A = this chain, B = another copy of it.
Amino acid sequence: MENIFHGVKARLDEEEITELLSRPGIRIERIVSTGQASPPDFWYDQPNDEWVIVLTGSAGLAVEGEAERTLAPGDMAFLPARKRHRVVWTDVDRPTVWLAVHFGADLR
């Protein structure tokens, strides 16, 4: 994929994750959401750090112990390993394209 917006679908049954680059210690992904959210009471609890930016659309991000944040295009978030978080909602009118960078010495 040469352009991150290539082939973004307006409607998906499930969130779509596409690996853009993977090397020891780092994985870069495109995530496309079209209204999907984390299941009720589901929290991500990841072994590695993650850094995300929303490129199109919008989303509600909840991080344990913090106020819910609305992410619009250009908004960034750092999600440290083991910091529980969930996606409360994503835009239903347009695709939300996220760029996610997962990293850590032990990430394969």
Contact = CB atoms under 8 A, between A and B. Distances in A.
Give the dominant DSSP class at A's interface: strand
Contacts of A76: 1-4, 20
Contacts of A37: none
A101 B24 CA distance: 14
A90 to B, nearest CB: 18
Interface residues of A, number: 27
Interface of A: 1-6, 20-21, 23-26, 28, 49, 51, 53, 55, 72-76, 78, 99, 101, 103, 105
A75 B25 contact: no
Given A103-B26, A103-B103, A4 B53 contact: yes
Contacts of A53: 4, 99
Contacts of A5: 73-74
